[in-house]
Amino acid sequence: MKNPRTGLSWIDGRPPNAGAAAKLLRGLGNGDIALTHEAFHRLQPWRAAGHLRELLMSCGVLPLVDKQICSFERWLGEYLGGISIPDHEQLVRRFATWEVLTRLRRRAAREPLTPSTRYFASGQVKAATQFLGWLANRGRPLDTCCQADIDTWHAGRGEHERGRLRGFCSGPWPASSPGRCGCLLTRSPATPRCPSPSGSRCWAACSPATTCRCGPGSPV
């Protein structure tokens, strides 16, 4: 920190978070707060915690992680905690971990992420949650979803909303047994990646009309 006065002002803080930074530093010093990124995801107030994390990364105390990924992971933990249906929470968590975060990390390895990239990633997670709720209201579990359901959902949404859901619809999130790919049927020309339950990846190419080639036919 180039200006010591800036650091002292940050430690003192301002209402309503006066003393928050000092409390976080004491927690690190006495071992109440683990020196890991995972621990920082849960700390409040998040602005003070985020600034402290950036300082620790700049000093080499914590591994370097893109700022937008840090913000997304903090948001994700809070968001998942608000999903009341356990099956939906598990599916959204799997999608966010295997697909959304994986893409963010791959892109961050090439160039710094922008806030708009993080906002789109958050939108993908929200869209997946909304789609699961929409299916549930229609009495359709995800593992029975077929192209007709996707088309009906698409018909009532704009291109932006359809784009946010595309990643979820082209993944294996409906899979209900080991080795089964549950790629939903979409009309996207992209070839989705299918993480298997064991952690390995296969490539699943879904027909735009009827059949998932790496699993049972429609409904998937």
What pLDDT score does 112 carry?
A: 94
Can you give the residue range of the structural domain that contains 101?
65-154
2-46 per-position pLDDT tens digit: 766 676 666 766 666 667 888 888 888 888 888 888 888 887 887
Entry pTM: 0.69
Average pLDDT over residues 141-154: 85
Structure tokens at 5: 């006065």
> How many distinct structural domains can be found in the chain?
2
Whether residues 69 and 149 fall in one domain? yes
Choosing from 134, 154, 174, the residue where a domain stops is 154
CA nearest neighbour of 22 among 48, 58, 60: 48
Higher pLDDT, 96 or 208: 96
Domain assignment of residue 109, yes or no: yes
Whether residues 39 and 73 fall in one domain? no
Domain assignment of residue 208, yes or no: no
Domain assignment of residue 202, yes or no: no
Whether residues 143 and 89 fall in one domain? yes
What pLDDT score does 151 carry?
A: 87
What pLDDT score does 172 carry?
A: 67
What pLDDT score does 15 carry?
A: 67
Domain assignment of residue 206, yes or no: no
Higher pLDDT, 208 or 6: 6
What pLDDT score does 1 carry?
A: 60
Whether residues 145 and 79 fall in one domain? yes
Average pLDDT, rounded, for the chain: 76
Structure tokens at 203: 């490539």
What pLDDT score does 83 carry?
A: 96
What pLDDT score does 173 carry?
A: 56
80-113 per-position pLDDT tens digit: 999 999 999 999 999 999 999 999 999 999 999 9
Domain assignment of residue 159, yes or no: no
Domain assignment of residue 177, yes or no: no
What pLDDT score does 179 carry?
A: 34
Cα-trace Rg, the chain? 21
Whether residues 95 and 129 fall in one domain? yes
Instruction: Check whether the bond before 45 is cis (ω within 30° of 0).
Output: yes
C-alpha span between 195 and 182 (Å, rounded): 11
Domain assignment of residue 92, yes or no: yes
**Secondary structure (3-state) at 217:** strand
Whether residues 104 and 40 fall in one domain? no
Percent residues over pLDDT 70 in the chain? 70
* Angle of CA points 81, 86, 92, to nearest 5°: 70
Phi, psi of 193 (to 5 degrees): -95, 140
User: DSSP code of 98?
Assistant: I
48-75 per-position pLDDT tens digit: 888 888 888 888 888 888 999 999 998 9
Domain assignment of residue 37, yes or no: yes
